[in-house]
Structure 1
Amino acid sequence: MTDFPVKTPGLSEKTRFLLSPTSYPEGARRVELVETHMARVFLTERFAYKMKKPVRSSYLDFSTLEKRYGDCREELRLNRRLTDGVYLDVLALRLTAENQLTLGGPGAPVEWLVKMRRLPEEASLPRRIDSTTAETLAPLLRRLCDFYRTAEVIPLIGKQYLERLRRHCEQLRRDLLAPELGLAKEEIEDIARALLAFIRHQPELLARRADGGKIVEGHGDLRPEHCFLTDPPQIIDCLEFSRSLRCLDPVDELGYLALECELLGRKDLGEVLLEGYCRDAGDEVPEALLRFYKGRRAFLRAQLAAAHLQDGEVPEPDKWRRKTRDYLDAALAYCR
């Protein structure tokens, strides 16, 4: 990984190459690009190829080729916990001696890609949200319960957990108050004040989760679009770049999925997931704690949506403003 060409292709050159159907050894008729904050995903008929962007922030660092390679390896390892035959390999995009890019050929590596088998989009939870029942959701719930039952318990004491939650809420408040976002200061202050007041006045509810061994290494980004109701169900795209953000309370993580189902118009499905997990784990969860977790997750999602508006040239800015507004409304509702 150290013998780099004199002139390494940039992101746009790599993107142009990967958008060409002739670039793929298995052959492709067309290639679709899906862009996220941190990656570009190239979809062929059968596979998905994920390329990290050379970005750096307070919570991740993809600034060098070596760091992107390490993250690709982690993504492969971690996502195999909740999938079967989906995460296939980490492949090198190489530059030949003739300065030609090649995928799977000779040359020095200039980028690394995670290769995945494509899952049927019609099997994703958002696509099936209207027809999903408690019965059809049961296999997904079983897989999640089995996962949490065997997940590594994180040795975190109550005081540490409280401090981590407090710092996170304060950071979200600061991020959302960025002047360039133009968001209503009073609303953001109200949400942050309510979340911090819960941590301050109900510390025993939160501390008990850590002291009781409830904090585990989970998925980290459990959203409906990452859940596929196939046989067996597949849960993709975990948060691979930060172990600390993956270490959480399963009730917090499932509360997040429940919140997203609620915003899709299926509050009942979220209740099925939470009740099923609590029954399986023998875990009694106070309603106040669940409301706190949902409120904090909605606040986080508002911040992530708003962050897209700070990206310079923003595709679909109205979409991200609308999402920010929806999540702030949800946070306000749960924090009242």
Structure 2
Amino acid sequence: MQRSGTYRHPAARVVRIETHISIVYLAGRFAYKIIKPVAPGFADFTASETRRHCCEAQLRLNRPLARGLYLGVLPITRRGRTFTLESSGHGVEHAVKMRRFDESGLFSSLARSGALGPREVDRAAHRLATWHRHAPRVAPLARYGSAALLKAQIDSVIAALQADCAEPGLRETAAWCEQQLAQRAGAIDGRRANGLVRACHGDLHLDNVMRWRGDVSMFDCIDFDDALRWIDIANDAAFLVMDLRTRAGARLSNRLLNRWLEATGDYAALELMPLYVVYRALVRALVACLYSKRGSHPKAAAAAHDAACYIGIAMGETRRPPPVLLLCHGFSGSGKSVAGRALAELSGAVYLSSDVERKRLESTIAANARLDATHYTLEARHAVYDHLLQIAFRVLQAGYSVIVDATFLEHRHRSAFFSLGERLGARVRLLDFHAAPDVLAERIRIRQRTQHDASDADASTLSLQLATADALTSAETTQTFAFDTTRPVEDFDEATFWESVLDLMSSSAVEPASDICRIRCKSGSSHYAAERDCPLPRSASGERPLRCRDDAH
């Protein structure tokens, strides 16, 4: 394979790349991947028929997320004392033929050079969310994605790490995983029952994601074990969230998570996201340990350091500060959406947009479509705040801080969210964004011309808001951070702009919670069935308490 004459196309100098389970030959405009006859522990490739099936699976499974990259499977046949690549026939080995790509476009390479940016991350989030929404849902075996199988998978990784790794935090992390698996078993199986275990990629670290032909491509998915590919979509997304945090920094990781949540609407995934992030970090730590044992491999020298970094990420995920509820307050055009998104990136909070969620409530409305006046009636407005309140409750219960981007110009809406924070023991603060009325109006005009925003607000909307907004009460003012948004928009990306808010969010202080009944409804839902048992306040409209979504419970 290292001889240029083996190939039926110009090959020039053939480059050989070896991983722990495969060998890749870069020949001219193409690459040829051969699976090694090895049994690394998580799979057994020693049988030639197994390797052939894996090659065929690579071609079939990777094409949806890596369009144009995978070209075919070629047999390697023996001719006398030589071997040749053929287009057909019975081979002694098989190779996956791929288009050769510029490795500088890999997310791992971009991260090392500091060139990985928001545009690539947004495209990755959109591509992944689109795949997750439409991925096959009928698993070959019912146990795939189950709590029992996940526990066995995590236990296996931890056992292998404990046998080869002396990191002091590993025992503590293992105990945390055991506790989480016990507490979240119902949620894990509940998501599986609801169809959220799907045919995923399964191995979304930065070496398997790249900038490709003006878009983002994800390749080299799990092809040798259906149990590692048929997983909760949150488990799949968590891999990329985790590896971005480790290798590209928290801001891009936070951005990807928020973009994926916004695209899927799967905020319930946050209950399991910390567990999945820890699991994925431990998986990469184990891979690094495998490399560290091979002293001759180019990656061996840095492998021990990489393992420690991944275990550090896992430990950090188990020690999240108490969540904070932040409410963006301001008129349309005040800059609260741009500022709120920037703060979410810096802080790791989950960002909720009233404009996005309003359109999500209308399942037939496209995300970029404009809504008419019927969607902005008093009743419709209360419904949006009720919806945001329920999502905020779920996010806070999962241990994540949340930024709710809505105008919050009515006292009743602000009061409902403050009551939620009080009942859950979460600190609540208003982020008051303000600018002069003429500045607000000009921003709205510009936004309408560009049409790149989910907001439907126009000049008449702003006029109505200015005339009818409820002033902040004295009690609310004491819980408010005020921001002048006439400053350059670049200031929002600086931690110094948010210093007081970030200090609050990193604090370990917890406000006292009201006494509430913790009896869950029969489905295991985190929404409580009866008003006397419900930790939520009355809804933002004041009409009724929030109830379990399943009326049967």
TM-score, structure 2 normalization: 0.53
The residue number in structure 2 matching 1:191 is: 173
Aligned: 1:275 with 2:284: no
Q: Which moved more, 1:192-201 or 1:281-290?
A: 281-290
Instruction: Give the counterpart letter for 1:99 in structure 2.
Output: R
Mean CA deviation greater in 283-292 or 273-282 = 283-292
1:208 and 2:190 equivalent?
A: yes
2:76 and 2:194 map into 1 onto residues whose CA distance is 46
* Range with bigger deviation, 267-276 or 307-316: 307-316
| Aligned counterparts of 1:270 and 1:167: Cα–Cα separation in 2 | 27
Which of residues 268, 279, 292 in structure 2 aligns to 1:296? Answer: 279
Structure 2: how far apart are the matches of 1:133 and 1:313? 34
Q: Are 2:153 and 1:168 equivalent residues in the alignment? A: yes
Question: What is the CA–CA distance in structure 2 between the aligned matches of 1:262 and 1:113, rounded to whole Å?
Answer: 34
In structure 1, what is the equivalent of residue 121 of structure 2?
137
Q: 1:101 aligns with which of 70, 74, 83?
A: 83
**What do you get for the CA RMSD once the two structures are aligned?**
2.5
Q: 1:203 to 1:38 in 2, by over 3 A?
A: same
CA separation in 2, counterparts of 1:220 and 1:159? 13
Query: Which residue identity is paired with 2:105?
Result: A
Letter in 2 for 1:301: R
Give the SS at the match of 1:196: helix
* d(CA) in 2 for partners of 1:332, 1:269: 19
CA distance in 2, matches of 1:60, 1:30: 32
Residues 74 and 88, structure 2, Cα contact 8 Å, conserved in 1: no
One-letter amino acid of the counterpart of residue 71, structure 1 = C
For 1:84, the equivalent position in structure 2 comes to: 67
TM superposition score normalised by structure 1: 0.85
Instruction: Kindly provide the amino acid, as one letter, of the partner of residue 48 in structure 2.
Output: L
Distance 1:141 1:105 in 2: 37
1:189–1:204 Cα change, 3 Å: same
Shift of 1:214: 1.2
Q: Is the 8 A contact 1:226 1:237 kept in 2?
A: yes
Counterpart contact for 2:291–2:299, Cα < 8 Å? no
Secondary structure of the structure 2 residue equivalent to 1:322: helix
Residues 145/132 of structure 1: CA separation in 2 closer, same or farther (3 Å cut)? same
**For the residues of structure 2 that align with 1:182 and 1:281, how far apart are their CA atoms?**
37
The percentage of counterpart residues that share the same residue type is 26
Aligned residue identity for 1:305: A
Partner of 1:265: 248
Give distance in 1, aligned partners of 2:155 and 2:42.
15
2:137 counterpart residue number: 153
For residues 71 and 269 of structure 2, what CA distance do their matches in structure 1 show? 41
Counterpart check, 1:250 vs 2:233: yes
Separation (CA, whole Å) in 2 of partners of 1:148 and 1:94: 39
Q: After alignment, is 18-27 or 109-118 more displaced?
A: 18-27
Q: Quote the residue 2:346 is aligned against.
A: none
Question: Which residue of the partner structure matches residue 9 of structure 1?
Answer: none
Contact 1:158–1:207, Cα closer than 8 Å, also in 2:
no
CA contact (8 A) 2:76 2:95 kept: yes
- Picking from 152, 162, 169, the partner of 1:177 is 162
1:269-297 superposed Cα distances (whole Å, 9 cap, x missing partner): 22222222222222114655322211111
Name the CA distance, whole Å, in 1 between partners of 2:188 and 2:90.
Answer: 50
Inter-partner Cα distance in structure 1 for 2:134 and 2:86: 36
- Do the aligned partners of 2:198 and 2:232 also contact (CA within 8 Å) in 1? yes
Q: Give the whole-Å Cα distance in 1 for the aligned partners of 2:104 and 2:17.
A: 17
1:321 matched to which residue of 2? 304
Offset of residue 307 of structure 1:
2.2
Q: Which residue of 1 aligns with 2:42?
A: 59
For the Cα contact (< 8 Å) 1:95–1:108, is it kept in 2? Answer: no
Cα offset, 1:106, TM superposition = 9.4
- The one of 305, 308, 311 equivalent to 2:288 is 305
Alpha-carbon distance in structure 2 between the residues aligned to 1:228 and 1:193: 35
CA distance in 2, matches of 1:106, 1:207: 44
Amino acid at match of 1:166: K
Amino acid at match of 1:142: H
The aligned amino acid for 2:42 is: Y
In 1: Cα distance, 2:295 partner to 2:211 partner: 37
Distance 1:214 1:149 in 2: 9
> How far apart are 1:38 and its partner, in Å?
0.7
Partner of 2:242, secondary structure, is helix
The residue type equivalent to 2:285 in the other structure is: A
Contact 1:157 1:211 in 2 (8 A): no
Letter in 1 for 2:246: L
Task: Specify the alignment match of 1:11 in structure 2.
Answer: none
Give the alignment partner of residue 117 of structure 1, picking from 63, 76, 99.
99
* Counterpart Cα distance in 2 of 1:105 and 1:149: 36
SS of match in other structure, 1:177: helix
8 Å CA contact 1:158, 1:209 repeated in 2: no
What is the deviation of 1:198? 0.9
From the superposition, tell whether residues 142 and 177 of structure 1 become closer, same or farther in structure 2 (CA, over 3 Å): closer
SS in 1 for 2:109: coil
Cα pair 1:92 1:111 within 8 Å, conserved: yes
For residue 39 of structure 1, what is the aligned residue in structure 2?
22
Shift of 1:221: 0.5
Question: Residue 250 of structure 1 aligns to which amino acid in structure 2?
Answer: I
Aligned residues: 315
